[in-house]
Amino acid sequence: MKKEGFMQSITTLFGGKSATITKCLKCQNRSAREESFFDLTLAFPDNKAGEPLPLDALIQYFLDTELLTGDNRYRCDHCNGLQDAERVRALLLLL
């Protein structure tokens, strides 16, 4: 199999596109970035009950709005400085 055919097969089986949208809470300016992916890095939320978490719960946690504050503030190009912000991820395309 040629390299191009192999890469197309991998992309078709495992690929997708996601978007990350960040909104500055001071000026409401938004920035967006699209990315291709072959896997999702899913974090595990606090699970004090110790129960197994279903895949859909992990994906929802990945897609939940993230608040960027404190040491994790967003550098807003419009405000020209670090600001509190909200970050949202969306899955645009699953191949």
Could you report the per-residue pLDDT of 11-36, keeping only the tens digit for each? Answer: 666 778 899 999 999 999 999 999 98
Q: Are strands 66-68 and 81-83 parallel, antiparallel or unpaired?
A: unpaired
Per the CB < 8 A criterion, the answer to whether 83 and 25 are in contact is: yes
Q: Left, alpha or beta for 9 (phi > 0: left; psi -120 to 50: alpha)?
A: alpha
The torsion defined by the Cα of 54, 56, 61 and 65, in degrees rounded to 10, comes to: -160
> Which position has the higher pLDDT, 19 or 47?
19
pLDDT at position 30 is 97
Summarised one tens digit per residue, pLDDT across range 53-83 is: 888 888 888 899 999 999 999 999 999 999 9
Q: How many Å apart are CA 68 and CA 72, to the nearest integer?
A: 5
pLDDT at 7 over 70: no
